[in-house]
Homo-oligomer: A and B are copies of this chain.
């Protein structure tokens, strides 16, 4: 796991960036989350630089207090299909909820995206934590455990539908009039606890066997689901040690489900801020902090403390005493905020700004950031990284122009993607059909399509 080799990177396509007010940053168009030319430009730049996949996150519920770029953004399947034509090699992954969709429809749309993109589709399976979502779909929001039970059956159905047709089922012999081989059609006929789905799917098998399954759950149940199904997992990256421990847990879960550690690739999310000097990187971070008004930062802080109104306190006085407030829902976060403020003697203003714009793990010169990424990677904190920049345009430019050349100089990056499909890019074998003879899964996609 710690040999010296190329580090793969994915890239979040999240409009203006991960910072809640990234739209205000001068490097971005203010309408970035709904600007197709911007999305295409970023995806092409990433592709040219050898980034292995672009990733579109999603949500199904907003209200007027939502983060601005969540209010108005593309739906993942449509924008990914558009990007499939605008790009040639980069993988294209997006979020779809198993709690608020139909497996037949989703299996089909992802298979269609995979066909359109020549085998570059990935699906980030989420169960939707946000309870308000239920109000857009006229049903009760399932609780956490139930959501994961639904997701488990849902994935089984989708993967079954994806194997409806063997790879060579469509013979299309004009001379004889034989369009398909009946022996290579598999009708699912699923009768489960949550889903009844007859099948078959009305689209051929994927160029990569099946689209890639991404997963991001960090609870025990989420890790169990990832171990069972996921080809790739996103995770937070609070520290090297915690990320390495998470990596080991997911791989252990895969092994417990009869798979191998290498069958699931872990991608910690990172948002490097890079400067030509450490001071320049620090200036960029401060500029991002300043995208937020102090009122917005106070409101953001308030979300962790039961929507407590922080405007009642003096901004430049020490962080107020809050007693038990905030210990009900986000206890570990609010305990940390209180402790930090006390220990460092921070004012309310300083605390709110630091919470709303957390300092990234990776900040400094390109050499420093590259070396840190290599150090994490060599220590087993993931199999690659997914880049989620606080400010998209600046973040991508700096990473591509400054950090990638250093990684290349260190022999730890290649701009050449070896195969054609997302599974190829991730170093995963082509997915075998559940109806195939044993051993077929070891055949790489590039060979299977030669």
Interface residues of A (CB under 8 A from B): 21, 23-24, 26, 30-31, 34, 36, 40, 59-64, 68, 70-75, 77-86, 100-102, 104-105, 108-109, 111-113, 115-116, 132, 135-138, 165, 170, 172, 174, 177, 179-180, 182, 185, 187, 195-200, 202-204, 293, 296
Contact B182 A64 (CB under 8 A): yes
Give complex CA distance A60, B72 in Å: 30
The chain B residue sitting closest to A84, CB to CB, is B82
Q: List 14 A-B contacts (CB under 8 A).
A: A60-B202, A72-B165, A72-B170, A74-B112, A75-B109, A75-B203, A78-B113, A78-B116, A82-B82, A82-B84, A85-B85, A132-B198, A138-B195, A177-B293
CB < 8 Å neighbour of A78 from B24, B77, B200: B77
Chain B residues near A116 (CB-CB < 8 A): 36, 74, 78-79, 82
Sample of 5 more A-B contacts, CB < 8 Å, known A63-B187, A74-B112: A59-B202, A74-B203, A82-B116, A135-B197, A136-B199
Contact B138 A185 (CB under 8 A): no
A273 to chain B, nearest CB (A): 20
Chain B residues near A101 (CB-CB < 8 A): 102, 105
Chain B residues near A68 (CB-CB < 8 A): 179-180
Give complex CA distance A376, B143 in Å: 59
The chain B residue sitting closest to A62, CB to CB, is B202
Contact B115 A36 (CB under 8 A): yes
The chain B residue sitting closest to A39, CB to CB, is B116
A378 to chain B, nearest CB (A): 39
A250 to chain B, nearest CB (A): 30
Known: A73-B203, A82-B81, A203-B75. A177 touches B21 (CB 8 A): yes
Known: A64-B185, A116-B78. A202 touches B170 (CB 8 A): no
CB < 8 Å neighbour of A71 from B61, B85, B179: B179
The chain B residue sitting closest to A175, CB to CB, is B24
Contact A137 B75 (CB under 8 A): no
The chain B residue sitting closest to A70, CB to CB, is B202
